[in-house]
Amino acid sequence: MSVSLGGILALGAGYLAMVFLCALAVERGWVPPRLIRHPGVYSLSLGVYASAWAVYGSVELASRIGYGYLAYYLGVSGAFLLVPVMLVPIQRLARTYQLASLADLFAFRFRSRWVGTLITLITLLAILPLLALQLKTFGDAIHRLTGAGSPIMLALILCLPIALLAIMFGARHSHLPVRHDTLLAAIAVESLVKLAAMLALGGVALYGVFDGPNDLQQWLTGPGLDLQARVARLETGQWRTLLMLFFAAAFLMPHMFHMTFTETPSRRALLQTGWSFPLYLLLMALPVPLILWAAQRLGIDTSASGAAYLAFDISTSPWVDGLAFIAGLAAASGTLIIVALALAGMVLNHLVLVAHPPGNRPNLYRWLLWLRRGLIVAVILGAWLFYRTVGIKHDLADLGLTAFVGIAQCLPGLLAILYWPGANRKGMVCGLVAGSTLWLLGLWLPLVADYSPLVLVPPGLDWLRDEPPWYAVTLIALYANILIFILVSLVTRTSEGERAAAEACSVDAVIRPKRLPLTARTGEDFKPLLAEALGSEVAEREVESALAALNLSSRDGRPYALRRLRDRIQANLSGLMGPSVAQDIVDRFLPYQSRSQATDDIHFVESRLEAYRSRFTGLARELDGLRRHHRRTLARLPIGLCIFDDDGELLMWNEALSRLSAVDGESIIGSHRDDLPAPWAELLARMHDEPHAYLYKQAVALASELRYLTLHKAVLDPEEGDRGAVVILVEDHSELKWLEDELLHSERLASIGRLAAGVAHEIGNPITGISSLVQNLRYDTEDPQVLESAEQIQQLTQRVSRIVGSLVGFAHGGRHVQGTRFVPVELRRLSDEALHLIRLARSGEDIIYDNFCPPGLKVMGDAQRLLQVLINLIGNARDASAPGSRVTLDASAREEWVLLSVTDEGHGIDESIRDRLFEPFTTTKPPGEGTGLGLPLVYSILREHHGDIQISSPPPDQTFGTRITLWLPRTLQDDSNADEPDSDR
């Protein structure tokens, strides 16, 4: 006895304190969250599977059946290699419906609270031997190390800190499915410690007892060969049965279900366990035979009853004893904590709450929390009592195998949940009761009551009488279970509720969830309804929590949204009180409208298909690809498209329609047509009721402006069991409408223009007459005043002739009169004349005109046409100017160009029409005052002169007004006679 009792208890207390501090560090945020949520930490936490059986029981088993001990590790490794096929579907179910235990899953699938109760009872009976095994190893290990103390009392001492740790880090919330980072981290640390301790023990055996791997191999093929030959070999059937038992334990054991499905940080982390957890188990299994062989090498009798604790004998060092003790303590404490948590939840949801529904009680959350904590303590004390009365008398293998065979009775039911939608409650219960009864009679009761196993061997299987009881009971119980399950399921009727749940659970079922409208109209209505069951405070909190999780508004009245809200509330209540109670509450207080006809929930089906996309193969994958292609085509169609179901529920609102309406499809899909935002509800209802298949150019006031929409409708009649639908296409014809209006306007103006040209032609004749008469008058008088008047009349008649000529020219395609010769034109004289003519007009008399054009600056051009340009521009400037403001003309030379500018201080040009100024009929003047032909004419003339025009409004050196700058080709040629603006053409 190398270690004192006080010392070993201090070591144990120190270890548990270290685990507590690690968990505390995580809770206080001293450890980076990224590290806690790393998939590796989750994989380590699954090491809770490696209980005290893995540390002590495996050595005992290896001493009896050699490599057969590996079944414990290989069975569960096989289950984790099938993570994507088996564990991910269960995890998805557990997460979606907030199912925290095997009993929750069974109660949800088979739609019966009694099924949950039955599973809880069987799990409770099955797990007690396993819990007793953990306590037994602790008490026995200390007793073996120290020779002092009673193993039973030592085990009781362990119960206290275990219960405290379980409550502190696993029962902080009333919702069981809430992830506990602290718990996850604590269990991961425990797994790491036991792995390190086991590897260290293996190292001691390999290099302390043997002289390395080669020495071990030589011993095995030499002196150790006889010892190995004496070890019994497992028969093929027994080996396979063991593998199957441990395979089932991977997801049926309450602690494994809890860690694998409730504490999963992400799907990615779960998928990674497919190789990381088997690797962990490989490392845990590796030292087991090394310890056994080392003990054999040292001459220790490994066939004696204490073979489980051989690790304490391979060295005389207290450090090695301490390592073996810590490995066992880490394994036992982790399993005890998680099993206690999981079982407490199961007992609460499926025994306590079923017997005493919570009702409308104040402080419901607190009541549930304390109930759960009390149950954790009760489970641990129950385990101790079982150990004290039963476990103390049996070895580890008997206790462990009884537990694993018992829990395996749930395997047929679980496989049916995933792969057999036809299974029903009656079949499952009959099979489970039959299998469990055979197990109780064959293994559990003999353990408790200490009598010979009662193995009921059916006729024809007499060979089983000679087999070990665990093997015979496993085969008979499971065969009976499966056979009865299948037969009863086939001959009895499955309820609608079960069928729906089976579809939700089944991996390959054709999921066609039905939808019914709820009696509640909005999310807000849920609160008073639920308050009847839960009290107003809890109801408010649950509804708000579900709304927040779904990112919905409490005023959202979409049937689809309300159904999702109801499902979410049911799932959340399931996490709080178990699926049975949760279903009772929502069925009673959040009912569907009873007179409505159930229809397929296509939107939900689509979201499910999207979620399961990666799992399709072959034809299903092809079909899904085709579905996605068609959906994408509709979604990205450049024309607005919406689809309504027969009952007016919106199924699709594509991207083009979202852009046109400025309403996001996600926010309204699932709404009824009448609940759509204005003006869509009224417009689409009108289209729906319209006998014709179209509505042409409907004026619709959208947020920004008036738009003209054309709607087309296609009614899809129901066929082959599929429901009908109404497809509506929405085309925006606003541009087309505006173009049509513009065309009509232009046509009207063109008619006026043709009329004006005709009138102008008619005016030409009298003007010619006036011109001739003025010529005569000039010859007939010498009165200077009369001569000046005659001169001015002559100029004006010439101008009228030019205007008439230009108007006719514009009417004939905007070309000026042919035959004009470009000559040097002096801008100063040209601008003076333009101003002179402008001043003759009565309007604009109070405008100040400044002409800063320098004399001598010339351009090449047609003086008449350029004069017309200037008159137009100055006239525009005058019309835009307020009385008393200035209109300035200026000119300057720049290389081969002359820049002539007309600047006013008027109201400027509106930006919206600036780009269209040179288009005909564009005007800034009030209706009736401008034709919109002036600037197009100016532009046309400038293009004839190879010049350009530039508009600044306002000019850079002014805060208002407009400056129009003409770029004209400069000439240096001096031809003073050629630039006479009044020259006749």
Partner 1 sequence: MYIYRIMLFLVFGGYLLSPQLMSGWVEPGAAWYRPFLIWGGLIALSVWLEQKRKLDER
Binding site for partner 1 (CB under 8 A): 66-68, 70, 74, 77-78, 81-82, 84-85, 213, 216-217, 220-221, 225, 228-229, 233-234, 236, 239-240, 243-244, 271-272, 274-275, 278-279, 282, 285-286, 289, 293, 614-617, 621
- Give me the least distance between CB of 613 and partner 1, in Å please: 9
Q: Closer to partner 1 at the Cβ: 284 or 346?
A: 284
Cβ contacts of 868 within 8 Å, gap of 6 or more:
802, 803, 806, 937, 941
Q: Closer to partner 1 at the Cβ: 159 or 482?
A: 482
- Give me the least distance between CB of 81 and partner 1, in Å please: 5
The answer to whether 239 and 68 are in contact (CB under 8 A) is yes
- Tokens 């009509």 map to which residue? 744
Q: Closer to partner 1 at the Cβ: 68 or 328?
A: 68
Q: Closer to partner 1 at the Cβ: 273 or 901?
A: 273
Q: Closer to partner 1 at the Cβ: 237 or 766?
A: 237
Classify the phi-psi angles of 878: left when phi > 0, otherwise alpha if psi is within -120 to 50, otherwise beta.
Answer: alpha
- Tokens 């609940």 map to which residue? 675
Bridge partners (DSSP) of residue 873 are: none
The answer to whether 187 and 170 are in contact (CB under 8 A) is no
Q: Closer to partner 1 at the Cβ: 281 or 455?
A: 281
- Give me the least distance between CB of 614 and partner 1, in Å please: 4
- Give me the least distance between CB of 387 and partner 1, in Å please: 33
Q: Which amino acid is at 639?
A: I
Tokens describing residue 529: 């309804």
First to last CA, the chain: 135
Bridge partners (DSSP) of residue 710 are: 731
- Give me the least distance between CB of 17 and partner 1, in Å please: 35
Q: Closer to partner 1 at the Cβ: 68 or 559?
A: 68
Q: Closer to partner 1 at the Cβ: 79 or 197?
A: 79
- Give the closest residue to 948 by CA, choosing from 888, 894, 880: 894
Distance CA 340, CA 317 (A): 35
* CA–centroid distance for 696 within its chain: 39
Distance CA 905, CA 928 (A): 23
- Give me the least distance between CB of 210 and partner 1, in Å please: 10
Q: Closer to partner 1 at the Cβ: 38 or 713?
A: 38
- Give me the least distance between CB of 73 and partner 1, in Å please: 8
* CA–centroid distance for 159 within its chain: 43
| 692-700 contact pairs (CB < 8 A, 24+) | 697/733, 697/737
User: What DSSP designation does 650 have?
Assistant: E
Q: Closer to partner 1 at the Cβ: 229 or 304?
A: 229
Strand pairing report for 848-851 and 886-894: parallel
Is 184 buried (19+), middle (13-18) or exposed (0-12) by CB count in 10 A?
buried
- Give me the least distance between CB of 630 and partner 1, in Å please: 22
- Give me the least distance between CB of 235 and partner 1, in Å please: 8
Helix (H) or strand (E) holding 333: helix 318-347
User: What DSSP designation does 451 have?
Assistant: -
Cβ contacts of 171 within 8 Å, gap of 6 or more:
341, 344, 369, 372, 373, 376
Length of the chain in residues, anyone? 985
* CA–centroid distance for 83 within its chain: 23
- Give me the least distance between CB of 274 and partner 1, in Å please: 6
User: What DSSP designation does 649 have?
Assistant: B
Q: Closer to partner 1 at the Cβ: 74 or 348?
A: 74
Sign of CA dihedral 916, 920, 921, 923: positive
* CA–centroid distance for 631 within its chain: 19
Helix (H) or strand (E) holding 16: helix 5-27
- Give me the least distance between CB of 272 and partner 1, in Å please: 7
Is 893 buried (19+), middle (13-18) or exposed (0-12) by CB count in 10 A?
middle
- Give me the least distance between CB of 244 and partner 1, in Å please: 8
The answer to whether 315 and 204 are in contact (CB under 8 A) is yes
- Give me the least distance between CB of 470 and partner 1, in Å please: 18
Q: Closer to partner 1 at the Cβ: 75 or 824?
A: 75
Q: Closer to partner 1 at the Cβ: 229 or 491?
A: 229
- Give me the least distance between CB of 83 and partner 1, in Å please: 8
Helix (H) or strand (E) holding 8: helix 5-27
- Give me the least distance between CB of 645 and partner 1, in Å please: 31
Using CA atoms in the order 370, 346, 195, 55, what is the torsion angle rounded to 10 degrees? 110
Q: Closer to partner 1 at the Cβ: 231 or 681?
A: 231
- Give me the least distance between CB of 282 and partner 1, in Å please: 5
Distance CA 741, CA 131 (A): 87
- Give the closest residue to 643 by CA, choosing from 635, 652, 634: 652
Q: Closer to partner 1 at the Cβ: 236 or 765?
A: 236
Three-point CA angle 87, 91, 94, nearest 5°:
140
Q: Closer to partner 1 at the Cβ: 276 or 876?
A: 276
- Give me the least distance between CB of 241 and partner 1, in Å please: 11
Distance CA 319, CA 388 (A): 30
Q: How big is the chain by its Cα radius of gyration, in Å?
A: 48
Q: Closer to partner 1 at the Cβ: 414 or 687?
A: 414
Q: Closer to partner 1 at the Cβ: 289 or 334?
A: 289
Bridge partners (DSSP) of residue 650 are: 644
Tokens describing residue 617: 């193969």
- Give me the least distance between CB of 85 and partner 1, in Å please: 5
Helix (H, G, I), strand (E, B) or coil at 317: coil
